[in-house]
Chains A and B, each alone.
Chain A
Amino acid sequence: MSLAPSPHSSSVQARGIGDALNLTLRLTALGFVSCVLQLTLVPQISIFGASADLTPLVVASVGFLAGSVPASAFGFAIGLFLDLAFVQTLGISSLLFTLIGYSAGRLRELRAPEAPLTPIALGAGATALALVGYGVIEFMLGVNTPVSFSLLGAICEVTVLNSLIALPVYALVRRCLIGALPEDPRRRTRRARTTRLSPLSRP
């Protein structure tokens, strides 16, 4: 009896490593482009007096598409990048985006919502969590955060604006990652339901 791995299992393992590498490369490129856009172009575009915040949307979209583990790592990396680039307190954005990515990934893994407007709610939630969370952590760290109604208004404006652009951002992220995603959540859900409902699957 031979203990050597079969050619089939070797190819499966190799394909898995290739997929992971492919996803990592794509996420790296996506994260870099998102950060660069967030640093250069997006703040200069004012819509209804507010500027959008791409990064929470991208992190949440990645979490919803790729799962919690890649998304939390992606969120951490993006947060660190932004903290370094904006010369702000290191670790805050990393922590928040890690949690955002992980939460979005867990939502996909546990619920797999199929509603077409899910990305909008996801984007709104991610944006609100990022903005409010940043203020709360700064406050807890003793930084004099100017909490006022105008700040709350600005948070609401950015959240609404991000909700409006959440769907196209999600579509773009999906298009970037479509070839490297572990599994399409909708396809997985449909198959699971079919299996569960089929009389052939009953004992």
Chain B
Amino acid sequence: MRALIQRKSWITWLVIGFVTFYVISTLLTLGFFFESFSRLTLPGVSPVLVVNQYLLAAFLSLFFIRFLFQKTPRMKIVPYLHLPVSRTSLATFFQVSSLATVHNVYPFLFFIPFWMRFVVPDAGLAAASSWMLAVVLLILASHFAILYLRSTLQQHTGLFYVLTLLLVVTAVIDEWLGAGLQRMLSEFLFTDILRGSLLGTAFVASFTALGVVLSTRSLLSGLRPDPPSATREHPWLRLPRTAERLLAADWGAEGQLIRLELLLMWRNRRPRHYLIISLLFSTMYLAFMLGPGNRITGAGMNALIGLFASGGFILNYGQLMFGWDSSYYPALVTRNIAYRTLVKSKLVVLQASCLVLFAISLPLFLLLAPDRMDVHFAFLFYNAGITSVLVMELAARNRQAIDIGRSGGFFNYEGLSSRHWIWFIPTALPPVLFMMAMGNHRQLALGILASVGFVSIMATNLWARYFARGLQARKQRMLTGFRE
């Protein structure tokens, strides 16, 4: 693994190239040859009708991807605020320039060939043009809605939980109870547009216009400086008293470092958002994976469920364990802190997160998939013992600084390199491949994974020593990377 990481530059480019090629060719193929796919899934139904039924769902999925990755222009504006240019002009300029993003391009790799092959011959050029206009407007609406949503969530974090709850309730009604509301609405809207009705297009256009106005206003109001985050004003910035007592006692440097890690998550926007997203992955996403309508079985899927159920936090947050410290890394390396102690405190936090997520997602397994309890138990040990170590290997080689207080929006993966995503694959793949290779011997496979994990947990001190040696050797490279 170490050799692979050292050769990361060309491997990274290779993987990026492969993934890009895969995505482009898949979208183009889907667009040009959609009838082959729709014949398999919905035989006898016109490809245009199939797409119309699922367009809103597709836009919702793209919306989720945008939520995680799309950048907001807020941070870009800040350096220009002192110039003699009106804020409205600046906001308008950056709103328009923010449209130049890959999120607004790749959907067309599907839509353009699909439109040419199926929509135009089916509905005629005039109606097909209205249909394409509606698609373009929906892409724009998604773009500006994301800017508005993230900016609003930044100012009213509590809204995130309300929206999440709303999404869950809607999804439950739509999917689990079989109402199919979004499919009906999607079919109604786009079939109506194809019949030449202007009402549907006007509806989408007004939605887009609303997005533009709201996001611009919210961008302007968000340019005021953040208020001080004094603990006096936000008592919740303190850790719960029990945790404080436990950690502030006489646990020495290790206890202080664990406390520091918890306060980092508690008091800083970006780490906190990673924590929240990890919790959502390990609960809501898991509920859908285990839910009756979406139940996918198989050894590989079991491994993925096990990985995310208790290891969601490690996979999402762990690679940045040292990156989070980048702004004060000199404060750590010039103090009397042994690298071994620093690494051990981080490993303990990662291991403890597995136990917490295990407990949180346990009711979901009991309720929805009691037959997969063995997976949940085995992966608790595997994640705590092995996933934590694999992720720490990546974290200890990360030289990219992360701005923990960056306030570009409520949550996203802004600032993370593609490396972060590419190295997720070798971290998650071994147990998936192992479970698949073991085929029908599920209990044996889980037993082996749990045992290996348990042994690795017992060897935490050895791992700490191993990583400490590496960190010491790479100290200057990390310091240089974090400074840059």
Mutual binders A and B: no
